[in-house]
Structure 1
């Protein structure tokens, strides 16, 4: 997809309204008790921190200077001692007690606020991942992995920083500003007007900064996704990079996107270079003005229009509280910085969550096994599945992204395909690469939904059964084998026997794994490894050869023991001898199962019950191997080339393949087969 095109992710991200409000509404509400506890503790801690300056000012005037009465705000005079030493003792006790209360309730506030922040982010991160797992394959066809990782990792972390730091600091700032302003006005409203004169200017500067920096944070978060994609691509393809001698090229690509990230970051920092010093300057001016005006007031009486009296104790209280007032205001820049960063990130998180999922369970969907008429006494989820599969006039058009309605798609890659497979039969699909073979079988798994027509299993439209029961009944071995970082045993058990419902470490489970690997001709090479089945194979199974990875994938499917098998060139990465051994085990595995196999080597499917020759999304020939040889069509020509009976394909076939290759290589979207002839 071109960079200037809007994907579903960008469109739904732009539609997110008040993302941080939504964050608190949807995820903060269930954890509100932690937030309320934290806010109450914060208020107590901040109010307690105001006590020492107030008591100190009163003590200076009443005890040390003797210029005023010993009175404390909100405390009845009758409760206060009249003896000066007793007043001193009480003052010391109040100051020490205030520090203890501040420390204790700050600790309570920290525990509660951090619980709130991290519980919310745990829910956001897991929900985002769960939604990502449910998104249609169409989303992953046109969305870069690095950007998805950026949402799940970087953006979620930004929200965590906001909830963990900015929220705490802003709450502390709010209480301190209101509390200190109230105390200053209470003691001397005229001098307080000098201290607070910078506040409106600070708010004006903050409003300007928020308006100016917000779009720059959005751009920065987008570039982070691009940077992650560039890094992920380079690291995933490091073998190709080295063998192609393109380290310099990849470095240049990462350098370009890194520099783009640098520029976006500098755009933000340029505003910060104005905003942060500006806030600190205004806060400093407020403190300096308070000190100068208050000092003149003490030396020469009320300056200018002021008329109130000012004692030394009150002036000391003003100095201490103004200092406490200035420091939080100077931190506003950090809070705004984290707020804007979190706002941009939350838009991306909710943009991901808002993307609609089209391939879902119908509200009335039934369990395929429960709805089936089979009588299998096994312990697998497909116990009631017989394996009758029917394609009824199936057509499929690939949509460009999640925004496009499938009915608006124009180019059909599958067009009017109909065939049936009885339980226990093997149906082979052959034909040029890009003809639609893999896409045709992915429709059976509902990785994509048919555009027209229907696919039925045991008489049930697959759109009317649950995805879990459908995919649990189908075993899929792809030509592009994927293994997770972990042990060989974990990869073989993956999916079917992964989770708390199975004792994966039991001796019986171990035996089942070994039986599956023996059937896949993998037991010998696994046993020769230093740790055997407990050998870790690295990310994507990089420590194994292509043939070994493919045999592990076949063993994984054998262990699943499905009623329907899909073998998408399952032996494409093995040598001829290993292919013969695997093919023998696959023949045994498919005896009582409905099997669909996409063949690269036609010799592997000559015994299939039905062979479908697919070309340009249509079935152009069908029948047994012998029947198709007798018809002398495309299948016979391909067979002749592979068997060495003819030297090359007729020119009309080659020319048609070139045309198809050019057309599909340019026009087909992701997720649809590409390339030249298989043979």
Structure 2
């Protein structure tokens, strides 16, 4: 079966490759507004970790001074305090140490709470801003962008990649701060207590740095591949769930399960490569860190019970200092082992940031001028002046080639022609879903590229073949885009669209939930809700894109009545395969190969005996009377369409 190649590279790979310093950009562009919560988190983390180091120092004091023979005031941890503050009796010294340890735990708990508040607040705010900014950018991109992307891939960026940032901004930054404070703080304390033994305890640090550097180099491309494979899984699932009706009616559940299993297995294999690297790296770090602990115990213990330094070590080592070294070295093992986890979270976040900013840096073909004037519609006159358009691929053929026509205000113009003639593209250019490559489109003399995009689209109403309804009530879907409309105005719009009667018969009337994409309504009902939406908007220019092509004859009659009401006294463009629905149009444009090949009224075009009359003959069932040339051209067009579908 031909279709999407799920083994293709990441669709955002080109954008990712152009992103520079994604993590710095994340922190400075989106983290800067929340510097207060970040500062509280960082400062509290530093103070909390510093207080975590105090009990071991005080324990050393207690062992050497209170329970031993050393002078209390001469203990290293206490030399920073005025001697007048220090008690002189053994009981006083005992309670001084006990109260200080208790105070360190109490204040430590407060600072731990502030740390958690700061980092969580910061990460949630940044995550929220990144997600909303990414979505806002995404929805403003050209339709061409969406035509080349799977919805699941974009959902993966908005959901999985953005969520990945939250873990690093909270847990990652928190762990990094803890690691920095613990390693630097413990290192300084060890050198302060006994520089010679500190060299033994910290000997594994350079080796850990080397192993971490190797890990970073190997894990970075693997995480990029994992993020891409997540997007592929989401795309497959989204694609299948969206087409669940086709799957069931085609009895292809087993086939689709196999396809989901295949793409899931590819994700499994890609993710397992990264996991396998991690599960080898972290135990190695812990083992190296443990070596420092064992060396400290062996060298320090031998030093204490022999009374003199082994080998090159000189002087004596007090029991309390030795206990402090053991406790600090044990505390050092876990942060050093966690260093790999911090790097791991950073690499994941960086891979996600590249995809996020790659999307946000996507350049659209439609230029938006924030200072552009609003479109002012007086008569609704529309002019296409030598308009040409092709998609971004320079090798692609022109979809629209030198099209020119004028539409007077209030006229109804129909666009007809074979499949692939460019009818829908002509009207998408009017809505500026794409921008023309050559020529211009003017509304009442105003080039639509020189007016604000919002005012242009606000002046137009669009009713398509597949009317999309949002999950919500009938009322909410009719009022979409006219959010301040009253219930009375909504009912009036529904009545004008021939929708009021069926809406009243729904279980909850206008408050009935339509289901996802309006699945609880029939095709004709969805169309009439969409027409009611356009009626409520009261646009100056109306665009109808095959609004009745997929409904039965009776429903078509009802929809056509509502359309006739809607098109009164407003400029209307209509695309139709059923020519009977547009035969009363003021002007009919016949397109073929992206060009206007005929124009006129229904009677004039029939009299010309050209393409329009042949299309009319097809729908009238006069197949045997069609010229051979028309049939051969239809066969060529069909073959070309199938070829383009296979290429896609």
Structure 1 length-normalised TM: 0.92
Aligned length: 641
Q: Confirm or deny that 1:569 pairs with 2:576.
A: no
Residue of 508, 519, 522 corresponding to 1:531: 508
1:572 and 1:522 mapped to 2: Cα distance? 18
State the secondary structure of the residue aligned to 1:102.
Answer: helix
- 1:604 aligns to 2:581 (yes or no): yes
Maintained 8 Å contact 1:397/1:409: no
- For residues 183 and 655 of structure 1, do their structure 2 counterparts lie closer, same or farther at Cα, with a shift above 3 Å needed? same
Superposition pairs for residues 453-602 of structure 1, below 5 Å? Answer: 453-495=439-481, 497-498=482-483, 502=484, 509-602=486-579
Native 8 Å contact 1:8 1:355 kept in 2 = no
Deviation at 1:665, TM superposition (A): 3.2
In the alignment, is the contact (CA less than 8 A) between 2:55 and 2:104 conserved in 1? Answer: yes
CA contact (8 A) 2:6 2:263 kept: no
Matched, 1:13 2:16: yes
Partners of 2:527 and 2:559 within 8 A in 1: no
SS at match of 1:170: helix
Kept in 2, the 8 Å contact 1:641–1:648? The answer is no
Kindly indicate whether the alpha-carbon contact (under 8 Å) linking 1:429 and 1:437 is maintained by their aligned counterparts in 2. Answer: yes
Pick from 331, 340, 347: which aligns with 2:347?
340
1:615-652, CA deviations, whole angstroms, 9 ceiling, x for partnerless residues?
Answer: 11111111011111111112112223323455463332
Alignment of 1:393-472 (within 5 A): 393-400=386-393, 408=394, 410-472=396-458
Q: Which residue of 2 aligns with 1:675?
A: none
Secondary structure at the residue paired with 1:331? helix
Q: Which residue of 2 aligns with 1:143?
A: 149
Partners of 2:464 and 2:546 within 8 A in 1: yes
Contact 1:641/1:647 (<8 A) preserved: no
1:324-403 matched pairs, under 5 angstroms: 324-362=331-369, 364-369=371-376, 372=377, 374=378, 386-400=379-393
CA RMSD of aligned residues (A): 1.8
Q: What is the aligned partner in structure 1 of residue 115 from structure 2?
A: 109
Unmatched segments (≥5 aa) in structure 1: 375-385, 401-407, 672-679
Please state whether the residue corresponding to 2:532 is helix, strand or coil. Answer: helix
CA distance in 2 between partners of 1:579 and 1:424 (Å): 23
Change (3 A) 1:5 1:234: closer
Measure the CA separation in 1 of the matches of 2:273 and 2:313: 45
Q: Given the alignment of the two structures, is residue 65 of structure 1 paired with residue 65 of structure 2, yes or no?
A: no
- 3-state DSSP of counterpart to 1:418: strand
Whole-angstrom CA distance in 2 between matches of 1:588 and 1:48:
77
Of 15, 29, 47, the residue aligned with 2:50 is: 47
Any gaps of 5 or more consecutive residues in structure 2?
none
560-569 or 289-298: bigger deviation: 289-298
* Counterparts of 1:418 and 1:670, CA distance in 2: 31
Structure 1 contact 9–355 (Cα < 8 Å) conserved: no
Instruction: Pick one of 274, 292, 315 that aligns with 2:298.
Output: 292
Q: CA deviation at 1:290?
A: 1.2
Counterparts of 1:516 and 1:648, CA distance in 2: 44
For residue 619 of structure 1, what is the aligned residue in structure 2?
596
Matched, 1:162 2:168: yes
Quick one: distance in 2 between partners of 1:601 and 1:73? 95
Q: Deviations over 1:5-59 (max 9, x none)?
A: 7788321211111211111111111111221121111111111111111011101
Aligned to 2:247: 241
Shift of 1:2: 6.2
Q: Aligned match of 1:317 in 312, 321, 324?
A: 324
Which one of the candidate residues 22, 38, 41 is aligned to 2:41? 38
| TM-aligned CA deviation for residue 586 of structure 1 | 1.3
Q: Which whole-Å CA distance do the structure 2 matches of 1:265 and 1:528 have between them? A: 52
Given the two structures, how large is their TM-score scaled by the length of structure 2? 0.96
Deviation at 1:170, TM superposition (A): 0.8
Q: Distance in 2 between matches of 1:409 and 1:564?
A: 34
Q: Give, in whole Å, the separation in 2 of the partners of 1:592 and 1:668.
A: 40
Partner of 2:628: 651
User: 1:233-265 deviations in whole A, cap 9, x for unaligned?
Assistant: 011101101111111111111111111111111
